[in-house]
Structure 1
Amino acid sequence: MTDASAPAVSSHHHSPRRPDEDLLAYILLAYGLSWLWLLPLALAGLVVQQGHGWPTHFPALLGPMVAAVLVAARSGSLRRLLTSMVRINVALRWWAWAVSPLLLLGVALIADRIAGRQLPGTADFAQMSGLPLSLGVIGVAAVVLLVNGFGEETGWRGFALPALQRRLSPLRAMLVLSLIWAGWHLPMFLVIDNFRTFTAGTVVGWLLGLMAGSIVLGWLYNRSGGSIALVAVWHAGFDMVTATAAASDLVAAVVSTVVMVQAVVLVGAELSARRRGRPSVLIPQSSQ
């Protein structure tokens, strides 16, 4: 009886449903770990504000990375995940895309100047929700890269996107991931100062921006050969540009609009490639 039961256990272990089970486990764990930090803040009535180190939502941002590492270790894909985190030997054009939010900042500041507005000071870039001003610009940038960038992207693009792409087309996988990503943010509307000021219209714009970001980040991850490092740099740069006190309405609008335009162009190119029977522009490929 023992021998007869062994193949059944082995067969279940290699079941085709296993990738879906890993993805579900990842989503539940990412939500659970992050919400475990955020919900007590909400229940206590605490609000995360710019330039203040407490209360802070930053530990919650590590949830996606911790979940990805745990599930990858369980499924035997941890080495692939860790390798992706440090993949920086990619073509320069992908690095240019990775730092593009900072380049867009320059354009936005020029627009601000033309509009006659006062340009932000260096200290304004150190004023972010959940972080103390004492960190300074370099300190804030480092924390944002490690926590916002790697903390989120190791999970969303490094683990969840490849898992979704095993059963969906890249575009559909990116759109589905944007919904999962949006749901993960829900408790932040209760505890983070700028989220609490959102109106119905702002929420719609935020959702569209998140969807656009999911497409642009998914494209960058796939086409750079699966580099978590690059999408982490992009994510951190975008947050430094749009989520600090340096982000005027015009700066945020210019940067967000350009990202949305990039997403629309990518979707248009992808749909055109499908109609003409050409290779996908979103499909993963080697960085070489």
Structure 2
Amino acid sequence: MSGEQHVTLARGHRTPFWVLLTTFLVVSSGGAWLVALPLWTSSAGLASPVAPLLLPAIMYTPAAAVFVVASVRRQRPGATARELGMWPLRPVKRVLGLTIIAVAGAPLLIAIGVFIAAGFGWVRLDLEHLSGFRETLRAAAGRAADAAPLQLIAIVQLVSIPIGALFNGLLTFGEEVGWRGWLLPRLRSRIGTWPSLVVSGAIWGLWHSPLILLGYNFEQPNVFGVFLMVVGSVSVGILFGWLRLRSGSVWPPVFAHGALNASANLVVLFSSAGDRVDPVLAGPLGAGTWTAAAIVITALVIVGQFAPARLEPFPSSSSRTSGSALRAQQDQVDD
């Protein structure tokens, strides 16, 4: 077989792993471009009235890719759910604990990134008067915003982030079941933990290209914008990947992703009026957040959270499984 990893299908056919990987990438990325096509053909771009419908649909193209790959393999739904980390939820305490950490940690990461950006002079903050937030409310509601209890609204915004994470999880599941549910563990069993974290994060970033090239997120509709998205996705993706491998479940990264999206406007909440926030430097996936993520990742490495014994091997439950044994077990799961 020349050492190549293969997947044994129910009827005896064998499909190379690279075929499954290529299928996954074509369906997920090609699907994203296809769904985004109306935005490209419209002169309005991201301002198109159909954008609010298309953006959530794009988030489910990785899930569609998982479905196609599972269909190619003719795999039973129960086996697919176990592989993807959807079920069973055990150890329950670890899965639940890491989910809580994910929901609380994602907005904290964004907030730390905002303060790092402020420390470098990339954004000016007004924590006392929240003048930037007032300016945003005024733009949306006119002079009526001046009478609004600003501090109370800000507190409500912060408290609602966990609720937003739960609702956003309905959408981010479409992405995470692909990136951290299917792609990361399969790459890990073949190229190792750190390469798979970086590669899966980079693929996640490139997958955003149809929107980034329209100016989404960084207001950089060019290759530089795509590069920024790749860097941001790798930095955050390593943390999401750690949640997946530490818990053995896809749900902590699902809700971490949901909380991250719910926290995207924290910089607006803290910023000073009249100060344009550069999303490249102080945005939710800007340089401030990259720095914050690097600090957290370094801390996790120092305390041994990326040690093999701490991570859930895939697909075996034994933490001492060698790389070659993992690959052999992967083929058994694919049988």
| Aligned equivalents of 2:252, 2:108: Cα separation in 1 | 15
| Aligned equivalents of 1:245, 1:143: Cα separation in 2 | 21
Change (3 A) 1:191 1:203: closer
AA aligned to 2:188 is Q
| Aligned equivalents of 2:198, 2:235: Cα separation in 1 | 9
1:55 CA drift (Å):
2.3
TM-score norm. by structure 1 comes to: 0.70
CA contact (8 A) 1:46 1:55 kept: no
Counterpart position of 1:236: 258
Structure 1 residue 118 corresponds to structure 2 residue 141 = no
Change (3 A) 1:80 1:120: farther
AA aligned to 2:262 is M
| Aligned equivalents of 2:81, 2:11: Cα separation in 1 | 28
Structure 1 residue 284 corresponds to structure 2 residue 313 = yes
Q: After TM superposition, list the pairs within 5 Å mapping 1:132-281 onto structure 2.
A: 144-147=168-171, 149-191=172-214, 193-197=216-220, 204-225=227-248, 227-242=249-264, 246=268, 249=277, 252=284, 255-266=289-300, 279=308
AA aligned to 1:101 is A
Change (3 A) 1:212 1:78: farther
Change (3 A) 1:74 1:256: same
| Aligned equivalents of 1:194, 1:214: Cα separation in 2 | 16
Aligned length: 256
Structure 1 residue 95 corresponds to structure 2 residue 99 = yes
Change (3 A) 1:283 1:104: same
1:188 CA drift (Å):
0.8
AA aligned to 2:236 is G
1:14 CA drift (Å):
3.6
CA contact (8 A) 2:209 2:226 kept: no
Q: Which moved more, 1:256-265 or 1:207-216?
A: 256-265
Change (3 A) 1:197 1:243: farther
| Aligned equivalents of 2:190, 2:176: Cα separation in 1 | 20
CA contact (8 A) 1:87 1:229 kept: no
Unaligned 5+ segments in structure 2 are: 1-8, 119-124, 141-156, 272-276, 318-335
CA RMSD of aligned residues (A): 4.0
1:141 CA drift (Å):
5.4
Change (3 A) 1:222 1:108: closer
| Aligned equivalents of 1:117, 1:198: Cα separation in 2 | 30
Counterpart position of 1:85: 86
1:174 CA drift (Å):
1.2
1:166 CA drift (Å):
2.1
Structure showing greater Rg: 2
Change (3 A) 1:106 1:164: closer
Give the % identical residues. Answer: 24
| Aligned equivalents of 2:109, 2:126: Cα separation in 1 | 14
CA contact (8 A) 1:64 1:155 kept: yes
| Aligned equivalents of 1:193, 1:34: Cα separation in 2 | 14
Counterpart position of 1:13: 13
AA aligned to 1:13 is H
TM-score norm. by structure 2 comes to: 0.62
CA contact (8 A) 2:32 2:210 kept: no
CA contact (8 A) 1:216 1:263 kept: yes
1:42 CA drift (Å):
0.8
AA aligned to 1:158 is G
